[in-house]
A and B are shown apart, each in its own frame.
Chain A
Amino acid sequence: MGARLRRALADVVERIRSLVDRDRESRELAEEMRFHLDQEIRRNVADGMSEQEARRAAHRAFGGVERWTEAWRESRGVAPLERLARDVRLSARRLLRELSLSIPALLTLAVGTGTTTAVFALVHAILIQPLPYPDAGRLVEMAHTAPAMGAPVAGQSPGTHAYYREHAESFEEVALYFENAEGVSVTDGDAPERIRAAMVSPSFFPTLGVSPVLGRWHAEGEGVWEPGDPPTPIVISHDLWVRRYGADPALVGDAIELNQGTPRTVLGVMPADFDFPHPDTDVWYVMEDRPALGAVSDLFQTGVARLKPGVTTDEARAELARLLPGLPDAYPDVNTELVANMAPTVTPLRDQMVADVRRPLQLLALSAFFVLVITLANVGGLFLVRAERRRREIATARALGAGSRDLARRFLSEGLLLSTLGGIVGVAVAAIAVDARFGLDPTELPRLQELRFGPTTAVFSLAVSLMAGLFVAALSLLRVRGSLARGGGGVAGGRAIGGRGWGRAHRGLAGVQVALSLVLMVIATTMGRSLQRALAVDPGFDPSDRVTFHLQTPGSGYDGYADAAGLYGDVRRRLLASPGVAEVEATWRLPLTAGVDYMRENLEGEGPAWTGQSPRADVTLVTPGYFDAMAIPLLEGVAFGDLRVPAPEPPVVISAGLARALYGSVDVVGRSLRTPGRPARYADYTIAGVVGDTPGDRLTETFDRMLYVPVLLDAGVDPGVYTGYGYVPTDLTMVVHLGSTGADVVSSAREIVRSIDPKVPMTAVRTLEQMLADATAHMRLVALLSVLAAASALGLGVTGVYGIVAYSVSRRTAEIGLRMALGSTGPEVERLVLGQTARIAALGIVGGLLAARALASGLRAHLFEVSATDPALWILSTVVLAGVVVVAGWLPARRAGRLDVVEALRTE
């Protein structure tokens, strides 16, 4: 037994060795045979033969060096590999001979494989792959929903967090964090820098299961920070550490200055790929434990937790729902009405992070799948044509003794060779695109940082290539087998028309391409229309020739009203004196800046539309000239009027939308308004003017109830003058209206800000036109991808139809010649061929419309002011597609109509 095993092993070793040492072995064999023949010749000469005779006799006795070398090679046991190499070589030669077929097939496969691979990489990285934390499947986001209270989504407050953390059994660990909406400036060193910061509870990193790569994180029980204590310590991002501190390990334990405040100790540096809660987060503060914030109703923070093993999100949610009614017992001052109306939610963290992009990505995946199917149908069609053309060759091979296995090998090696080559081209392009992250900004898609051309994607692309190769090989093999079985060889059959079944298969493949192209075109036109609608939305201001930038006072030194106002006022005055500047005004919140928090106030007043529930408005502070600078139309009244006249109810401006919501009309100048949430001194207002509506966070989600409160930037204003909320906010966005198009105010502004105070960061510099474009970036991405998918589908589909019709014409040349000989005219023949195209188109269009109808409901969520079943768009897609298909079919039809009868009859 042992000996046999040893021999078997030795055999394997020998095979591998001879595989590796192939060249050496061949050389040795040649030497051995040369020695053999030399010996034989010498002996023959010694026996008295002439040199020539001796040589001839020696070769005769040997029996052919070539043949025995071949036999020796087979006996070495590596023949299958070499046979494979030979198969590949032969296939390549055959494919090279038919470039008119191979090149379209190759390109089609490249497009199909590349598209599918790229989309797979994206979808896998974002939707499928677990988050890059240990045992990430157990991470959940904890929030609330209170639709009845006007808060469809509400988070956690320190109070609810502490309460759940103490009582809930479903979680291993519960954490709390929130992102600092105003942002933070690093103010040490020369250039101040605005960064993104998150306040996190001590349990935050342990919950995620991530620790700093350098240094450590604040351990729970190391002390609780309360207001008045020295600032809490921080950890910083790897990026900030490298970018600003040159990856100096000594930074850990040191302190850095944020917002010109007391320096904060850096406890550690997070790993480079850690990007929670945001890819740009650079600083994580230890959250102060502020019982004052325990006002349980301030649900603006976010809960993240790790479930105990085996606990489902539903079980966890049920437990929280059971616990929630006990909250007022723990916090007697809680808003009981709110608690009664809210419900806890527990969502897998990954799903929560990608919730916004799930649908667009699913749509993308579906489109890619369609492109793949079209690819297969297209190449399948080409290979059917090819198999048909090669019936003679195959029949000859068969007659010469090629078995079914030989034929299968032949088709398989051709199919796989083509699909592998196409795959390599497509995947190479896909890999480059994936590595470049499709040129997307990391903030445009969540988890984009995790996008990589990894092993899973490689395996996927390999599987797609293999499948494509097997598919076309199987199709050709079936085709050839079928025709050989029927035709009994068919060597003579040049005119023999393939079975009706195969004609149907051809048309079916073409029909599939037409159908899926139509679906993708419907999607693309609908998306395009939706985008067009979004772009046509009147933003309510004039974006041309306007530049904005954001300034933030660096904290200390700017405490008083005069100082902050002085800074902005200086910037404004000096900019106004710069060339090319017409107006400089400021606002606290620009429209279309998603992700920033507005102040939102409940309002009280008098009026017909006044019902029990108080309407809410977004509040922003603006300089009186802001409306002019933005070209927001003043519909009624004035922009605040004279602010130096003291008034018991100072003036505000409201948007037309708010006016209608409050009073049912815009004719409301002089009416009073109350914001009960403000201190009494700033609670009562008179409406001085009404301006046009502007969008809220997003262009497509208009929140048009704006309340504008005035702010003045003139340094040294009389403190008695009315100044809105009584302070100048620490950050403001400046709006510069250019006096002449293209004036370079940005450099002037930079220069001015730097000379006034180098510690003031100037960020978000962009034109209003860029801002508008950014607002539709998401939609443009989806629309662009749909159009790309539709265009490649249309291109592939049309070539597919063209190929099949052209082929059928060439196959029927003799028949057409006969028809013409019997009196058919050219136009009649054209109609005959066009009829065939029409049948394909009709089949495809019906199928496509049915498929699009089935998918329409899924499309709805992507759309803005467009129906997923907009008849005009469907008709447009259908007509365009039908037109293109008919042209594709018309070219071969015309050729058929112009056939020379004699030539055609001779083609047999």
Chain B
Amino acid sequence: MSDNPKTPSSGDAPRELLPGTLDLLVLKALSHGDMHGWGLAHRIEEMSEGALAISQGSLYPALQRLKRKGWVKSEWRKTENNRRARYYQVTPDGIRQLGLERENWRWSFKAVNRVLAWEEGG
């Protein structure tokens, strides 16, 4: 069983996500307020200004994973339209994890950029 989300290989995502980044995005999106899966998909899309169109279904395995790690929790609530929906909420552990992952991401982003820059300059 792999810890990486299976990125869909079908053509409906314009760009494939780097492995492991979906968790980071979900945590970040949830840190702005509790949300159900559908809302989360659109929030991520909005936050990336449409650049990261993920396969919406991939959120559910990711949420399950985060839940198991104790970074998010969930409960059933009513929506404004009075329908039952599962809402996710980031936990304090999740906030801490978000910080860590953000650091990680920045560090590897910089490192990779540096490598790429060196190649381009050479």
Q: Which positions in A face B, CB cutoff 8 Å?
A: 3, 7, 10-11, 14-15, 28-29, 31-33, 35-36, 38-40, 60-65, 67-69, 71-72, 74-77, 79-80
- The reply to whether B61 and A77 form a contact with Cβ atoms under 8 Å apart is no
- The reply to whether B61 and A7 form a contact with Cβ atoms under 8 Å apart is no
User: Which residues of the partner chain A approach B8 to less than 8 Å between Cβ atoms?
Assistant: 63-64, 67
| Distance (whole angstroms) from the CB of A82 to the closest CB of chain B | 12
Q: Which positions in B face A, CB cutoff 8 Å?
A: 1, 5-6, 8, 10, 12, 36-38, 41, 53, 55-58, 60-62, 64-65, 67-70, 76, 83-86, 93
User: How far is B61's CA from A72's CA once the two chains are assembled, in angstroms?
Assistant: 4
User: Which residues of the partner chain A approach B5 to less than 8 Å between Cβ atoms?
Assistant: 71
Name which residue of chain A comes closest to B11, CB basis: A60
From B1, B57, B64, B83, give the contact of A67 (CB < 8 A). B57
From B36, B58, B83, B86, give the contact of A71 (CB < 8 A). B58
Known A-B contacts A3-B93, A36-B56; A10 and B37 likewise in contact (beta carbons under 8 Å):
no
Q: Can you show 14 pairs from A to B with CB atoms below 8 A apart?
A: A7-B93, A14-B68, A31-B84, A33-B57, A35-B84, A35-B86, A36-B41, A63-B8, A64-B10, A65-B57, A68-B58, A68-B60, A71-B58, A72-B60
User: How far is B61's CA from A79's CA once the two chains are assembled, in angstroms?
Assistant: 13
User: Which residues of the partner chain B approach A67 to less than 8 Å between Cβ atoms?
Assistant: 8, 57
User: Which residues of the partner chain B approach A7 to less than 8 Å between Cβ atoms?
Assistant: 69-70, 93
- The reply to whether B57 and A75 form a contact with Cβ atoms under 8 Å apart is no
User: How far is B66's CA from A11's CA once the two chains are assembled, in angstroms?
Assistant: 11
From A28, A65, A72, give the contact of B86 (CB < 8 A). A28
- The reply to whether B93 and A76 form a contact with Cβ atoms under 8 Å apart is no
User: How far is B65's CA from A60's CA once the two chains are assembled, in angstroms?
Assistant: 23
User: Which residues of the partner chain B approach A40 to less than 8 Å between Cβ atoms?
Assistant: 38, 56
- The reply to whether A77 and B68 form a contact with Cβ atoms under 8 Å apart is yes
- The reply to whether A75 and B58 form a contact with Cβ atoms under 8 Å apart is no
- The reply to whether B56 and A72 form a contact with Cβ atoms under 8 Å apart is no
From A29, A38, A79, give the contact of B1 (CB < 8 A). A79
User: How far is B71's CA from A7's CA once the two chains are assembled, in angstroms?
Assistant: 10
User: Which residues of the partner chain B approach A29 to less than 8 Å between Cβ atoms?
Assistant: 60
| Distance (whole angstroms) from the CB of B61 to the closest CB of chain A | 4
User: Which residues of the partner chain A approach B53 to less than 8 Å between Cβ atoms?
Assistant: 61
User: How far is B36's CA from A40's CA once the two chains are assembled, in angstroms?
Assistant: 13
User: How far is B53's CA from A71's CA once the two chains are assembled, in angstroms?
Assistant: 19
- The reply to whether B69 and A75 form a contact with Cβ atoms under 8 Å apart is no
- The reply to whether B57 and A11 form a contact with Cβ atoms under 8 Å apart is no
User: Which residues of the partner chain B approach A61 to less than 8 Å between Cβ atoms?
Assistant: 12, 41, 53, 55-56
Apart from the given pairs A40-B38, A63-B12, 8 other A-B contacts in the complex at a CB distance below 8 Å: A11-B68, A14-B68, A33-B60, A62-B55, A63-B58, A68-B60, A68-B61, A75-B65
Name which residue of chain A comes closest to B65, CB basis: A75
From B41, B57, B61, B67, give the contact of A74 (CB < 8 A). B61
From B1, B62, B86, give the contact of A32 (CB < 8 A). B86
User: How far is B12's CA from A32's CA once the two chains are assembled, in angstroms?
Assistant: 22
User: How far is B36's CA from A62's CA once the two chains are assembled, in angstroms?
Assistant: 14
| Distance (whole angstroms) from the CB of B83 to the closest CB of chain A | 6
User: Which residues of the partner chain A approach B41 to less than 8 Å between Cβ atoms?
Assistant: 36, 61
Known A-B contacts A7-B69, A63-B57, A71-B58; A76 and B12 likewise in contact (beta carbons under 8 Å):
no
User: Which residues of the partner chain B approach A60 to less than 8 Å between Cβ atoms?
Assistant: 12
From A14, A62, A79, give the contact of B57 (CB < 8 A). A62
User: How far is B61's CA from A61's CA once the two chains are assembled, in angstroms?
Assistant: 16
- The reply to whether B68 and A76 form a contact with Cβ atoms under 8 Å apart is yes
User: How far is B41's CA from A39's CA once the two chains are assembled, in angstroms?
Assistant: 11
| Distance (whole angstroms) from the CB of B86 to the closest CB of chain A | 5
From B57, B58, B85, give the contact of A35 (CB < 8 A). B85
- 9 closest Cβ pairs, A-B complex: A68-B57, A63-B55, A71-B61, A75-B61, A36-B38, A39-B38, A63-B57, A62-B57, A72-B61
User: How far is B74's CA from A14's CA once the two chains are assembled, in angstroms?
Assistant: 13
User: How far is B36's CA from A706's CA once the two chains are assembled, in angstroms?
Assistant: 102
| Distance (whole angstroms) from the CB of B63 to the closest CB of chain A | 9
Known A-B contacts A7-B93, A35-B85; A76 and B57 likewise in contact (beta carbons under 8 Å):
no
User: How far is B8's CA from A60's CA once the two chains are assembled, in angstroms?
Assistant: 12
User: Which residues of the partner chain B approach A63 to less than 8 Å between Cβ atoms?
Assistant: 8, 10, 12, 55-58
The winner among B67, B68, B76 for most chain A CB atoms within 10 A is: B68
From A10, A62, A76, give the contact of B56 (CB < 8 A). A62
User: Which residues of the partner chain A approach B62 to less than 8 Å between Cβ atoms?
Assistant: 75
| Distance (whole angstroms) from the CB of B74 to the closest CB of chain A | 9
User: Which residues of the partner chain A approach B1 to less than 8 Å between Cβ atoms?
Assistant: 74-75, 77, 79-80
User: Which residues of the partner chain B approach A39 to less than 8 Å between Cβ atoms?
Assistant: 38
Name which residue of chain B comes closest to A3, CB basis: B93
| Distance (whole angstroms) from the CB of B80 to the closest CB of chain A | 11
Name which residue of chain B comes closest to A8, CB basis: B70
User: Which residues of the partner chain A approach B69 to less than 8 Å between Cβ atoms?
Assistant: 7, 11
Name which residue of chain A comes closest to B54, CB basis: A63
User: Which residues of the partner chain B approach A76 to less than 8 Å between Cβ atoms?
Assistant: 64, 68
| Distance (whole angstroms) from the CB of A654 to the closest CB of chain B | 91
User: How far is B13's CA from A60's CA once the two chains are assembled, in angstroms?
Assistant: 10
User: Which residues of the partner chain A approach B57 to less than 8 Å between Cβ atoms?
Assistant: 33, 62-65, 67-68, 71
User: How far is B70's CA from A332's CA once the two chains are assembled, in angstroms?
Assistant: 91
| Distance (whole angstroms) from the CB of A72 to the closest CB of chain B | 5
User: Which residues of the partner chain B approach A80 to less than 8 Å between Cβ atoms?
Assistant: 1
User: Which residues of the partner chain A approach B84 to less than 8 Å between Cβ atoms?
Assistant: 31, 35
User: How far is B69's CA from A392's CA once the two chains are assembled, in angstroms?
Assistant: 44
User: Which residues of the partner chain A approach B64 to less than 8 Å between Cβ atoms?
Assistant: 72, 75-76
User: Which residues of the partner chain A approach B65 to less than 8 Å between Cβ atoms?
Assistant: 75
User: How far is B91's CA from A3's CA once the two chains are assembled, in angstroms?
Assistant: 13
User: Which residues of the partner chain A approach B10 to less than 8 Å between Cβ atoms?
Assistant: 63-64
| Distance (whole angstroms) from the CB of A215 to the closest CB of chain B | 63
The winner among B38, B76, B93 for most chain A CB atoms within 10 A is: B38
| Distance (whole angstroms) from the CB of A621 to the closest CB of chain B | 87
User: How far is B56's CA from A62's CA once the two chains are assembled, in angstroms?
Assistant: 4
